[in-house]
Amino acid sequence: MAKRAERGTPAQYAVHRGVSRQAVTKALKAGRIKLDRGKIDFAAADQAWRANTDPTKPSNSVTGNPGGGARRKSEGPEAGTLADAVAVRAVWKARRERLAYEREAGLMVLREDVKLAWFGRLRRFYERLLVIPDRVAKSTAISSDVRENRRIVREEIVRAIEELGDQGDAGLDAGRHPARRGPARRAAARS
C-alpha cells in the first residue's frame, strides 16, 4: 500500500485537500498556508486551513474558502483563528442585541436622555429658587420677627425642594430625605 505524501506541490495539495488549484494558490498568496522550498507540508497546511476557515459557511467552488475570496491576515485577531474571530463577533452581536432589548423594555436609558432630563429638572428648580424673594417679600415685610421670617423663607425653600423631588423618580427615599418628610416630621427635625 502506498504511503500518503507528507509534502507536495500546490497541485498535489489541491488534490489532497479536495479543492481547486486556484483555491490553493489564493491561500498561498493570502498567507493562509506556507510554501517551504517550493513544497507544502500537508499536515501544517491542513491545520492552518482549518484554523482560517469558517465551518459555518459553504465552501466556494473556486477558492475553497467559505463565502468566496481569499482571507487577509488583517481580518480578525492577529493571534487567534477565524473561529475565534467568529466567536468574538457573535459575543458582541449578542451584547448589542441585549442592550437594544433592555432599552426597548425600559430597563435602560441613554446617558444623553438622563443629562437632558436632569438639566430640565435643575433648571426649573433654579427658577423656583429665584422667585422665592418675590413670594416672601410681602410676608417678611409685615413681620419684624426674625424667626418668623426665617420660617417663611425655609418653608418656601422646602416647597421648592419638594417640587424638585415630585418631578419624577429622583431615587429619594421618603423616610431618609428631609424634603420628603411630612410637615410633622419636618417640624420635629427643626426643633
pLDDT in tens, 63-79: 455 555 444 444 444 45
Average pLDDT over residues 55-64: 58
- The CA distance from 109 to 115, in Å, is 10
pTM attached to this predicted model: 0.36
- The CA distance from 96 to 78, in Å, is 24
pLDDT in tens, 98-146: 999 998 888 888 889 889 999 998 998 999 899 888 888 888 888 888 8
Average pLDDT over residues 171-191: 42
Q: Which residue matches cell numbers 418656601? A: 156
Q: What is the mean pLDDT of the chain?
A: 76
- The CA distance from 63 to 20, in Å, is 7
Q: Which amino acid is at 42?
A: F
Query: 10-17 and 21-30 are packed helices; what angle lies between their axes, rounded to 10 degrees?
Result: 110
Instruction: Report the alpha-carbon angle 115-93-117, nearest 5.
Output: 10
- The CA distance from 57 to 63, in Å, is 13
Average pLDDT over residues 30-55: 84
**What's the pLDDT score for residue 170?**
46
Q: Which of 30, 31, 26 is nearest to 14 (CA)?
A: 26
Q: Which of 143, 148, 157 is nearest to 186 (CA)?
A: 157
Helix (H) or strand (E) holding 7: strand 7-8
- The CA distance from 63 to 26, in Å, is 7
- The CA distance from 122 to 119, in Å, is 5
